[in-house]
Amino acid sequence: MDGCTTPKVSIVTPTYDRMDLLKGAVESGLAQTYADFELIVSDNAMSDEVQALVASYGDDRIKYRHNGSNVGALGNALAAYKAARGTYIGTLHDDDLWEPTFLEKLVHPMEADPSISLAFSDHYIMDGSGRTDVQKSTENSKLWRRANLAPGKHQPFVRLALVDRALPVAMATVFRKDSIDWNDFPPEVASVYDLWLAYLACRNGGAAYYVPERLTRYRHHGGAMTAHSRYDEFFVYCYDRFLSDPRLADAHDAIRREAGPFHTGLGLALVAHGDRARGRRHLARGLRSHPDLRSVSGLVCSALPASASAMVERLANVRRMRSSAYPRA
């Protein structure tokens, strides 16, 4: 593909200061059997080393772009998505890997059916050193409800995307670019922009297509998750937005239940840091929508004297299994 030809697929690789991993990610993109793509390496700042790596391949399908300064994970990814020229967009993070047939197996069903907004596959889990853990991969598929998910077309897919959160948006999904409003990205979504992407893709009633093979490898860095309270805050913002969207009305009860533990987590963090009034409001919402021992205990502890803050902090660190084990689906 020369520089004047519009590619069918844009592979977006956001990166920042991970040269030791970036090379593997880029080479897994270049190894795709579906070759009609551009690969945009989006550097969050400007690195001579990243530029040199891109140039070293001598492949005009690889494009380098950079930001003038660090604009954060969302800003960096969004700039690259907007620069993408392809009909379809896939995200290949700088620490992840794609199997050679990933694009081939996801693009073909989308080419055959214009109602499909996105296609996704299952994926492997790697540890920080790149070793694939088959047992954790199997557990992850069960945890995110893909183990028994029917292959093929799902329409609508609101519950699949926003309640089950079965879509591995950040590591094993290809989007139809024009199914997404790329200008509708509030900064409040921050590091959970993958969930927001799923919302933008499903809210108008389009279809998703599932390929049950593990076609990518997600690198799970122990302890790499966003600080829990901020993570909860980002999810609370997203779920409140989903609940205000009348197009999702049929799923609102399920979305409200899914949001409950994030309200509880945020409420506990706020109480532990002294913002009791706001914390209790979130704890009450968590209790109403998803009553469990943690939400009940949290609300009770929030009424205790400030000297009990250590107990509240311990509760705040008790995570649901899904969010603590695998923060990205």
pLDDT in tens, 19-42: 999 999 999 999 999 999 999 999
Angle CA(67)–CA(192)–CA(207) in degrees, nearest 5?
105
Same-domain pairing of 93 and 240: no
pLDDT tens digit string along 49-95? 999 999 999 999 999 999 989 999 999 999 999 999 999 999 999 99
Same-domain pairing of 319 and 192: no
DSSP string, 209-250: EEEEEEEEEEE--TT-SPPHHHHHHHHHHHHHHHHT-GGGGG
Give the domain extent around 269: 228-325
- Across all residues in the chain, what is the average pLDDT? 91
pLDDT tens digit string along 82-131? 999 999 999 999 999 999 999 999 999 999 999 999 999 999 999 999 99
Percentage with pLDDT > 70 across the chain:
89
* pLDDT value of residue 45: 85
Percentage with pLDDT > 90 across the chain:
79
Reported as a pLDDT band with limits 50, 70 and 90, residue 325 is: very low
DSSP string, 33-62: S---EEEEEEESS--HHHHHHHHHT--TTE
Asked which of 170, 202, 219 is the last residue of a domain, the reply is: 219
Length in residues, the chain? 329
3-state secondary structure of 21: helix
The pair of structure tokens assigned to 145 is 């409800």
In-domain check, residue 3: no
Same-domain pairing of 24 and 67: yes
* pLDDT value of residue 294: 85
* pLDDT value of residue 225: 45
Asked which of 157, 186, 219 is the last residue of a domain, the reply is: 219
The pair of structure tokens assigned to 263 is 């309200």
Contact status, residue 264 vs residue 283, Cβ threshold 8 Å: yes
Q: CB under 8 Å to 52, separation ≥6 — which residues? A: none
pLDDT tens digit string along 207-256? 999 999 999 999 998 644 445 678 999 999 999 999 999 999 999 999 99
Rounded alpha-carbon distances, angstroms, from residue 134 to 120, 238, 299: 19, 32, 40
Residue 312 reports pLDDT greater than 70? no
Rounded alpha-carbon distances, angstroms, from residue 316 to 50, 174, 228, 235: 39, 35, 8, 16
Classify strands 88-91 and 116-126 as parallel, antiparallel or unpaired.
unpaired
pTM: 0.91
In-domain check, residue 51: yes
Average pLDDT over residues 263-279: 90
In-domain check, residue 2: no
Please give the tally of structural domains in the chain.
Answer: 2
3-state secondary structure of 63: strand
Same-domain pairing of 105 and 237: no
